[in-house]
Amino acid sequence: MHDYRALPLLLSAPMLPFTTHAAASLLVDDAGITDAQQCQLESWVRHTDAGQEWTAVPACTLADTEWSLGLTRAPGEAARHWALGAKHVLVARAPRQWGLALSAGIGGNTYRPRADDWALNLPLTIAPGAQERVQLHLNLGWAKQGAVHGRTDGIGVEIGMTRRWSLLAETAQDAARERGSQLGLRRVLWPGASVDLLAGHLHRQRDSRWITLGFNLAAPP
């Protein structure tokens, strides 16, 4: 069996709060949040040779801040991982072509409910053009995951190819300086609902690959 011990660290450390308005199955956060008094549910299953990792993240926006609670069942682990996050927009994208947010989160597992892990992240989104068919997401933060702590970063791009299909590409580095990348597609099912299909890998581990299927459901605009 391949060694995937670094995989959960990569996927959780850059954005521990799991408050990605774009889709939590992504590694790189954007600078948006759900609308005021609205909620969303982001869920995904990630398949590796070690097994399947299941995650669900409900989130709601109250007092101009998006609050989220993520629960993950990792393969081969009896304990469930949890992450409580908050995300606040510092600079709104409208009427600008860019936006900036601040997210923070704490996390742990059900065997040790104490919040041993934490993360801070600054997501920046640049969307040139009135139709925003191309969006660039940049992340810079700091995280602690177990005994490891350090700077995190990421860059991602969304390209709207048609009204319903988008191309997703991103790369992110965790606090342990482990870098991973993934590439995939998003399909809009109806307003507020979409499906992501992504394939990724860790750069330093030849056999550490995964496939992610994500489902995102939010209140219609």
pLDDT digits (tens, 9 = 90+) for 133-142: 999 999 999 9
pLDDT of residue 24: 65
pLDDT digits (tens, 9 = 90+) for 143-176: 998 889 999 999 999 999 999 999 999 999 999 9
pLDDT over threshold 50, residue 12: no
Out of 6-15, 97-106, 163-172, least confident range: 6-15
Domain 6-218 belongs in CATH node 3.90.320.10: no
pLDDT digits (tens, 9 = 90+) for 178-202: 999 999 999 999 999 999 999 999 9
Name 182's Cβ contacts closer than 8 Å, sequence gap at least 6.
26, 27, 168, 169, 170, 198, 199, 200, 201, 210, 212
Could you write out the DSSP letters of every residue in 69-96?
EEEEE-TT-SSEEEEEEEEEEEE--SSS
pLDDT over threshold 60, residue 16: no
Return the domain boundaries, the chain. 6-218
Please say whether the beta carbons of 33 and 101 come within 8 A.
Answer: yes
